[in-house]
């Protein structure tokens, strides 16, 4: 997302003028998921490189929290014994609704929580903070996200979180 944001900025401010085809070539050189940040809408990138866009999806208010430490992606992935079967290779609209999202899990959480027990404490705390719809860790960590239906609940959760975890980064946003 950082690379996509920089590229979008350079294009928007007319520092560079390139075709959409060239943008796609550049994003592939940087990383396979960079294209998702060029036009950030409800999209899924399948493992075979196919991008599927969804026009109408659920909107959520989200609370993102990051502890004052990072996780080693290499360390987390080195502990993976078996990867679960991909669930998003044949994207369908109903997979973006709340009922489906509740079924998904991040297989890396168990490993990350073993290596970094504070992450498990954070997730448990967030799960009980203003009744989020669900809480997940991003990728191999260390950011934890709580999803809320109402902006007011999310903002209140942020205030409560900041009181308890003063040295941790935290912010609110919404899905697009």
- Would you place residue 93 in the very low, low, confident or very high pLDDT band (cuts 50, 70, 90)? low
Tokens of 39: 């036009």
Q: For residues 101-127, b (16+ Cβ closer than 10 Å) or e, as one string?
A: beeeeeebbebbbeebeebbebbebbe
Alpha-carbon gap, residue 144 to 120, rounded angstroms: 10
Q: Which of 98-102, 145-149, 169-173 has the lowest mean pLDDT?
A: 98-102
Instruction: Indicate whether 156 pLDDT > 90.
Output: yes
* pLDDT tens-digit readout, 33-88: 888 888 766 677 776 677 777 767 778 999 999 999 999 989 999 999 887 776 66
Question: Distance between the two ends of the chain, CA-based, in angstroms?
Answer: 14
pLDDT score, position 34: 84
Domains along the chain? 2-40 (no CATH), 61-174 (3.30.70.890)
Gyration radius (Cα) of the chain, Å: 18
Each residue of 98-142: pLDDT tens digit? 888 888 889 899 999 999 999 999 999 999 999 999 999 998 889
Determine the Cα–Cα distance for residues 38 and 75; give it in Å rounded to an integer: 30
Higher-scoring residue by pLDDT: 153, 54: 153
Which residue has 């890396």 as its token pair?
Answer: 108
């Amino acid at each position: 997302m950082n690379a996509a944001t920089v590229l979008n900025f350079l294009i928007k401010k007319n520092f560079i003028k390139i075709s959409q085809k060239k943008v796609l070539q550049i994003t592939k050189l940087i990383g396979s998921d960079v294209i998702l940040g060029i036009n950030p809408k409800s999209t899924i990138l399948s493992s075979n490189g196919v991008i599927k866009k969804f026009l109408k999806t659920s909107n959520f208010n989200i609370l993102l929290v990051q502890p004052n430490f990072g996780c080693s992606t290499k360390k987390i992935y080195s502990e993976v014994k078996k990867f679960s079967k991909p669930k998003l290779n044949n994207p369908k609209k109903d997979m973006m609704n709340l009922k489906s999202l509740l079924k998904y899990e991040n297989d890396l959480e168990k490993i990350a929580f073993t290596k970094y027990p504070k992450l498990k404490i954070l997730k448990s705390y967030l799960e009980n903070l203003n009744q989020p719809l669900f809480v997940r860790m991003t990728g191999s960590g260390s950011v934890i996200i709580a999803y809320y239906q109402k902006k007011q609940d999310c903002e209140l959760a942020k205030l409560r979180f900041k009181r308890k975890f003063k040295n941790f980064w935290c912010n609110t946003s919404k899905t697009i």
